Structure 1
Amino acid sequence: MHKVFISFHSSDIAYKDSLIKFNEDNPMFIDGSVDTRDISDDLPDDRIRQKIRDEYLGDSTVTILLVGQGTKGRKHVDWEVYSSMYDGKSNKRSGVIAVLLPGANPGNNWTAAHDNEKSAIYPETTSWTSVDNRAEYELRYPYLPARIIDNLLSKEVKLSVVPWKKLDTKTLPLLIENAFDSRISNQYDLSRPMRRANS
């Protein structure tokens, strides 16, 4: 099993607790989640990133981002995602999975970054559409943080976006394994500055 860090906005803590309980009942990953909310925003970006990567994410290898309606404007979420994608000296980059919570999934939109996800998670889908522009991603995923969309647009990154309702004892381990396997080859786009304030 892989060590997983769960990133979320505080208003979505019930989903985080539900995911932890689901994992306790059906062990699929090692929970490496901790609260990063006490980090001062007076620190420089590099120091914030280093603290989160080394002291909080630690040796986790996969980050699950729970995406609710308030997620994309939260600085701590952005810091955690950035730090997950950063290839540090002592702790390497993680694979990332974005999970759309019920209030954040308008319609039937998802991104299967790995071919085996299509048949395993979405067997009812018979045709697939490729998205290659920010406007379309923002239309499909209005609550995704901008940094996630930056990386969905990158051909050098495999990052899946999955609806909460699709998580079960077969699909979640598959998503985690795929994210773990692609973490080293992912060349994340980290060009966007770290968010300094909530919006």
Structure 2
Amino acid sequence: MVKHKVFISFHHGKDSEKEGGSLYRTAFENHFGNIFSTIVTQSIHDGDIDPDLPEKKIKELICKHYIKDTKVTIVMIGPHTYGRKYVDWEISASLRSHPDGYPSGILGIILPDHKDFLKEDVDHSLLPPRLADNLATGFASLHHWTFDPSKMAEHINGAVQKRKTFYYDDSRPLLSHDLDTKERVDAKP
């Protein structure tokens, strides 16, 4: 089995432990750490990047300091992830070409505390909008949390393949602030 370098994007807030790490991120690292070459879990926090910088510079900094050389960005989707600006920024930066000429594949994982966990039809307005856009193009894929290493490896390998065969959509401007439920943004048709 080929081992890929993956980046984990997640919301630090409501799902956080006292030390600041996501419960599911930690479970992911502990359970699946042996099936990847590297798991990058250093996500963006307030103050890490000046939000007043031009979008191009923000994406450049994220690529350089967070997601360099990753093959897949895994977006862990809990109940409050859809409108987090840093998750949006990380997805957008993942869509930039890497040294091998391709962007990172995007894999959304619906967590057990999400309203649509294990539902066949997921409400795309409860997903990060940029992720929903890329589900619509076929570039991204969406799966539910699992502890099955073979299924997770299959999802990762699928995302790696899609990065070379599908077109992505990064046309939205970066979120300038976290959205609340009243500001929920629907996916493009």
Give TM-score scaled by structure 1 length.
Answer: 0.77
- Per the alignment, residue 186 of structure 2 pairs with none
Aligned length: 167
For 2:152 and 2:59, how far apart are their aligned partners in 1? Answer: 27
Provide the C-alpha distance between the structure 2 equivalents of 1:107 and 1:21, rounded to a whole number of angstroms.
Answer: 21
Structure 1: give runs of 5+ residues left out of the alignment.
111-136
Distance of 1:185 and 1:51 partners within structure 2: 26
CA root-mean-square deviation: 2.0
Residue aligning to 1:150: 133
1:181 paired to 2:139: no
Q: Which runs of 5+ in 2 are unaligned?
A: 16-21, 180-189
Cα distance, 1:82 vs structure 2: 0.6
Distance 1:173 1:40, change over 3 A: same
Give 2:114's match in structure 1, choosing from 104, 123, 126.
104
Percentage of pairs with the same residue: 32
* Residues 13-162 of structure 1 mapped to structure 2, 5 A cutoff: 13-24=22-33, 27-29=34-36, 30-37=38-45, 38-87=48-97, 92-106=102-116, 108-110=118-120, 140-154=123-137, 157-162=138-143
8 Å CA contact 1:105, 1:141 repeated in 2:
no
Q: Deviations over 1:126-159 (max 9, x none)?
A: xxxxxxxxxxx7x6344211111111222xx332
Q: Any conservation in 2 of the 1:33–1:57 contact (CA below 8 Å)?
A: no
The two structures have a TM-score, normalised by structure 2, of 0.80
Aligned counterpart, 1:119: none
Q: Which structure would you say has the larger RCO, counting Cα contacts within 8 Å and 6 or more residues apart?
A: 1
